[in-house]
Amino acid sequence: MLDIRKVNVYYYTIFALIATAVAGLTFIGFSSTFIIPLIILPFVTQTTEIILKGIKLGKWGYSPSATITGFILAMVLSPLPLYAQIIVGMVAILQKYIIRRDRRHIFNPAAFGLLFAWLAFGTPPAWWAAATPAVFLFLFSDYLIGRLPLALTFYMVYVGLVSGIGYFATGTFSPSLLSYPLLFFALVMVVEPRTSAITKTGMITEGILLAIGIFAVQRFVPIDLFVPALLLANILVHFRVLK
C-alpha cells in the first residue's frame, strides 16, 4: 500500500506534467512546434537555476522546481523561435534572484516568464497542453502541498461567476463546470508554494479575490488576464496582505 507521506511532491509534479504534456500532444498532434520546447525549456531553466544558485548562494545541484518551471512554460507558451524560448526560460529563473525581498522571490517564475514572453514577443499564453483529463493528476500534488483549498476555491468561484452571468444574459442556467485549461491554471500555477497563501483563510481569500478580479476586469478587457492577475496576487501574498 502506498504511503503518501513518502511521495516526493516535486517528482510527482514532474511526472504529472510530463503525462499531461504527452496527453496534450496526443490530442493536438506530435508536432516539433510543441515537442522541442518540452526539451529545451526544462534544460534552460534547470541550467540557469544551477548557475545562479551556485554563484549567489553557493549551493550547486539539481533543482526540481526549476524543471517544473520549464515544463509549465513549454506547456503554456505560444509557439516561439528557439532563441526566444531560451530567453524566456532564463528570465523566468533570473527574476527569482533579482526581484527579491526578505530572501524570498516575489513572483511565480512560470507566470513571470509567460508575461515576459507576452510583452517582449507579443505571444499570449496558449495553454495548449491543458486539453485532456490528465490535468486531474494535479489534484494529488495540490493535496500533498496543502493547497487544494486555494485551487478549488478559485476554480469554483470563477466557474460560478461565469455560469451566473450566462444565466442573466440568456435566461437559462448552463454551468460550465469543466475547463481543462482553467483547471491547469488553478491546480498548477495558482498554488505555487512559495508565492501563494499558506493559511486556510488566506487560501480561500486569495482564491475568491483572484477569481472575482479576473472575472470583473475581463468584462471590460477581453484578453487573457489570468497570468497578470496571478502576479498581482503574488505581490499581495509577499507583503502579507494575504497570508
Q: Compute φ and ψ for 58, nearest 5 degrees.
A: 70, 20
Q: How far apart are CA 164 and CA 161, in angstroms?
A: 5
CB atoms within 10 A of CB 96: 24
- Are 116 and 8 in contact, with CB atoms under 8 Å apart? no
CB atoms within 10 A of CB 146: 14
Q: How far apart are CA 198 and CA 125, in angstroms?
A: 27
Q: Please give the grid coordinates belonging to residue 3.
A: 504511503
pLDDT of residue 213: 96
pLDDT of residue 58: 87
Taking Cα atoms as reference points, which of 122, 132, 151, 120 lies closest to residue 75?
A: 132
Q: What is the pTM of this model?
A: 0.95
pLDDT of residue 220: 86
CA angle 210, 214, 219 (to 5 degrees): 155
pLDDT of residue 163: 85
Q: What is the pLDDT along the chain (243 residues), one digit of tens a residue?
A: 556 667 899 999 999 999 999 999 999 999 999 999 999 999 999 999 999 999 988 889 999 999 999 999 999 999 999 999 999 999 999 999 999 988 899 999 999 999 999 999 999 999 999 999 999 999 999 999 999 999 999 999 999 998 887 667 666 655 567 899 999 999 999 999 999 999 999 999 999 999 999 999 988 887 899 999 999 999 999 998 887
